[in-house]
Amino acid sequence: MAESDNTRVVAIAIDGSPYAEQAFDWYMDHIRRENDQLVLIHVPESYDLHLASPGVVQQILQELEVKVKAIEDKYRAKVEGKIQGRFRTGSGKPGEVIVKIAEEEKAGMIVTGTRGQGKFRRTVMGSVSDYIVHHAHVPVLVCRKEKDLKA
């Protein structure tokens, strides 16, 4: 929530990928302001569990909880003592959730990474960063992958 003291709310899409970490690091190294407030948005993978047994459902949910905690711990360590931040998670299509949470938080900017998929793959599978760019009502910074990152 932006305040009158030059506070800027920045939403950053995070997951367990090196692309998200690279986007976060680029923000921290190049455009972070002292009064920024971060909203780190994570949309865990979703699974169709309708036909799964209760034991399988329980195991998947426990694994998901461990993954989400590991991501939160990693980014908590990255912001600790440097910048104010909080985590938000949501379920659904990642692009839609990220845009919705950024709007709820009154973010003035969204930062996201990209896997740099080819045009064909992006067309068939969709792209979270493309969705955010086309549906967000605030500026979006898409950090492209560095050459040394492998897909």
Q: Please, what are the averages of pLDDT over each run of 10 residues along the chain (151 residues)?
A: 72 93 95 94 84 84 91 93 92 94 97 72 65 95 70 46
Looking at residue 133, what is its pLDDT? 92
Asked if residue 4 belongs to a domain, the reply is no
Distance of CA 104 to the CA centre of its chain: 15
Domain span at residue 55? 9-143
Looking at residue 117, what is its pLDDT? 58
Asked if residue 93 belongs to a domain, the reply is yes
User: 3-state DSSP call for residue 58?
Assistant: helix
Asked if residue 148 belongs to a domain, the reply is no
Asked if residue 86 belongs to a domain, the reply is yes
79 contacts 38 by C-beta, under 8 angstroms: yes
Asked if residue 83 belongs to a domain, the reply is yes
- What residues pair up with 110 in beta bridges, in sequence order? 11, 140
Asked if residue 43 belongs to a domain, the reply is yes
**CA 22, 28, 30, 32 torsion-angle sign:** positive
Asked if residue 106 belongs to a domain, the reply is yes
Task: Name the pTM for this structure.
Answer: 0.84
Report how many domains make up the chain: 1
- What residues pair up with 9 in beta bridges, in sequence order? 37
22: domain CATH number is 3.40.50.620
Looking at residue 127, what is its pLDDT? 84
